[in-house]
Structure 1
């Protein structure tokens, strides 16, 4: 009689060996471009310009006359969605060869703060690189850890609905929903949730159904942005009464992206009951930008050979009519830049709205430090996301509390006293002494932003004030504005009181 368990064990070993061999070959192939980053970028620049000379955009901006990057920067100004909207509208009407040869394969729908719903083109040439980014993240992990056991269990990808609309022959939906159509066959058997559940539009209903389908499964890999992970884990614990490590004893790996993981780290560790390996990624509708190539080191490997030519605007140049635009060769370490991308989907010198900082040049690695439009500078301090995320992490470690979610806004005209930064915080585990936490948080931010520190010292501002949001308040707020779930994230920073005024109804009584 065959020993069923022995057969499964042997098959698992074979899969592990194959996975490790594949990972090793993949890294060896990538070493070609990581060892020649500048040459790789110029290759893509020339290829993209050449292939688009006869498009509407290429003709309008005289691509046939462009030879050097300097030519490109003189002839093609920095683009945003509004400047490309006339071209996007032509594509939506069914026209060919507008931004890129032929028509896009997909439109990725995103929610813009100033442009409403955006339709970002994804071409047949660019789509494989979106998938390649996610695949590379897993293969680099397997290569580093020499432990691909997660491939033998169930994997869940918390994502938007894969149901797509037909827009004049171009299928349209959220990027995560589009990506669901490209899960490799070798992962289909282990993939969760079911297709039917994945198609549920209402986020809370969807997560409840995912919990039902997965609570008794052998989950080994879970992927999603940190707020989704927190909601999913909390609902699992509420249903079973156990920690995540007890529900899923073989859970090995979390894959996340979209927002900085650090502010959620303590909360997720508490829910899981132990530390897991975390892979952080930098996917965007406009292109898969970077991924963490080493789980033991900070920094995301910039994908230089994947259909994108990069430029970088120094942070002090952002907003200028003709900002300085640097190539990869010209960037410096530990300096914040707005990132521009030119892609094989037809985006040209396109500002995607993120700030990045290089922390390594061999190979080129970045961290995302914030959004170009999400900052607090009502008093000239220009506080960015990375600074507040690091500050709140430090304050949590000093006081032993756990923050569930937060955002901050300036209070320019208080009823009495000096202006201040108001932090709206939802605690999972509140501090014993809120005044001590306030002081620690203020000092941590002052260490990271000298302008803010000078404003406090000069009595232009008083130290920050915390307003406590009731449990579940941020989810209620996101639901109220129609942005719960999907690819929506709560802005960490605002330069006005729009979010703050709406949050007033979710303040915990007694802490106003």
Structure 2
């Protein structure tokens, strides 16, 4: 009876929530303008607000002229003051949390997260589940066991501000009605070593009635592989009531085929776009690509055309200005005190009614050793299109330029960890190169002009990418391996695993 009540209640809440969500989907442009002015007024008396003369800001244009685009280094002096116990620096009072993230240039970053910001992190995740329930009329998963592959929930304190990985912070905010269903145990969740932790999670979950599994795709795959290794069964045989997989952190599409192979049959998947800086979007229609941009969740968005990003006079666009199918660097102003902050993600809009996006790459992750500026979306779509034509499966991959080969023209080198190799690697390679040429005209020009030779695929051993992550101290949790680079740092590590 209790199971029926939980399921019935979840469906009622979901339908009510989705009805209420229609307002922000239809009014996002005006909501965004109102939100920015509200954020500015709230922070007018903060140190940052006084320095940037918030009292004079009345419009978006005023804001853009007075508050330059920033990155972590630009805000670091303010964050250091907060870390020393000073209040009212970026936002009134002190943040409730610091979310720790790894930066390539700044070392460990401490991203402030206020109570208001944390509330919207939780609401974003809840909204994703409610939209799924309303769309499918399926809430069976609320009565089974759920697992969230995440970082340790153990938090340190910096002048009274709780500090840890975002996924560990979120663990303290799981709604009460889900707590009894949640795995793994606190003891297992506190394990720092990722491989040890996953092994313990496998032992804790393999006999349970798992209905929802959530995590970043590469670490879900690692968990699934260990379950299969121990039990000799596909995941849906082991967990016959598995209803839903929730993913985030990286584009799911390149992992979909491998995931389905491990699952044994397709399972509904909802993609999300959370980060330490905010919960930005989720898949509100799990049957099609595209993530609904959350325009009423305490974040004001600006967009810089990718080709202009980094230029001093780059124009900052708002929702009313964006075009479909164009790549933009994502700029945030949040109710946690980030102001015109460049998060490093690149997005493209595939719909404007409502605003839906794809995450197409990272501003710092691209290959342009020869002026081609290839981004993640292009290589992921090229590989996806190629794999569908061949009976092949990819575990993971990385693209790096080879500028000075021992012989012949330079080329793009693809390091690929195959789960299942195509029968004809040469035809596969040529098809992949053709797909890349279709998607990037500069790359096509370089090939046709004999500046580059067609791409080369270097096959590498199983678990090579896990070994790389381990070598960088980035195995598990929220850590992601770049799909492409403009140098050979990752390539030089992977080459030792060449088959």
CA contact (8 A) 1:398 1:440 kept: no
Q: Which of 30, 40, 45 matches 1:39?
A: 30
Tell me whether 1:26 sits opposite 2:14 in the alignment.
no
Aligned positions of 1:222-371 closer than 5 A: 222-371=213-362
3-state secondary structure, aligned to 1:213: helix
Unaligned runs of 5+ residues in structure 1 are: 1-9
- Could you tell me how far apart the structure 2 residues matched to 1:203 and 1:102 are? 35
CA contact (8 A) 2:149 2:477 kept: no
Instruction: Provide the residue aligned with 1:164 in structure 2.
Output: 155
Tell me whether 1:84 sits opposite 2:64 in the alignment.
no
3-state secondary structure, aligned to 1:399: coil
Taking structure 1 as the reference length, the TM-score comes to: 0.97
Tell me whether 1:499 sits opposite 2:494 in the alignment.
no
Q: Compute the displacement of 1:329 (Å).
A: 0.9
3-state secondary structure, aligned to 2:374: coil
- Could you tell me how far apart the structure 1 residues matched to 2:494 and 2:24 are? 47
- Could you tell me how far apart the structure 2 residues matched to 1:57 and 1:187 are? 39
Aligned positions of 1:75-114 closer than 5 A: 75-114=66-105
Instruction: Provide the residue aligned with 1:395 in structure 2.
Output: 386
CA contact (8 A) 2:367 2:400 kept: yes
Q: Which of 36, 59, 62 matches 2:53?
A: 62
- Could you tell me how far apart the structure 2 residues matched to 1:371 and 1:482 are? 21
Q: Which of 396, 402, 405 matches 2:396?
A: 405
Q: Compute the displacement of 1:12 (Å).
A: 2.4
Unaligned runs of 5+ residues in structure 2 are: none
3-state secondary structure, aligned to 2:474: coil
* Aligned residues: CA RMSD: 0.8
- Could you tell me how far apart the structure 2 residues matched to 1:413 and 1:135 are? 50
- Could you tell me how far apart the structure 2 residues matched to 1:452 and 1:35 are? 39
Q: Which of 146, 166, 187 matches 2:178?
A: 187
3-state secondary structure, aligned to 2:487: coil
Tell me whether 1:373 sits opposite 2:357 in the alignment.
no
CA contact (8 A) 1:77 1:322 kept: no
Instruction: Provide the residue aligned with 2:438 in structure 1.
Output: 447
Tell me whether 1:383 sits opposite 2:360 in the alignment.
no
3-state secondary structure, aligned to 2:90: coil
- Could you tell me how far apart the structure 2 residues matched to 1:121 and 1:446 are? 42
Q: Compute the displacement of 1:158 (Å).
A: 0.3
Q: Compute the displacement of 1:124 (Å).
A: 1.1
3-state secondary structure, aligned to 2:313: coil
- Could you tell me how far apart the structure 2 residues matched to 1:316 and 1:420 are? 23
Taking structure 2 as the reference length, the TM-score comes to: 0.99
- Could you tell me how far apart the structure 2 residues matched to 1:43 and 1:67 are? 11
Single out whichever of 129-138 and 435-444 deviates more from structure 2: 435-444
Residue-pair matches, total? 499
Single out whichever of 163-172 and 26-35 deviates more from structure 2: 26-35
CA contact (8 A) 1:53 1:63 kept: yes
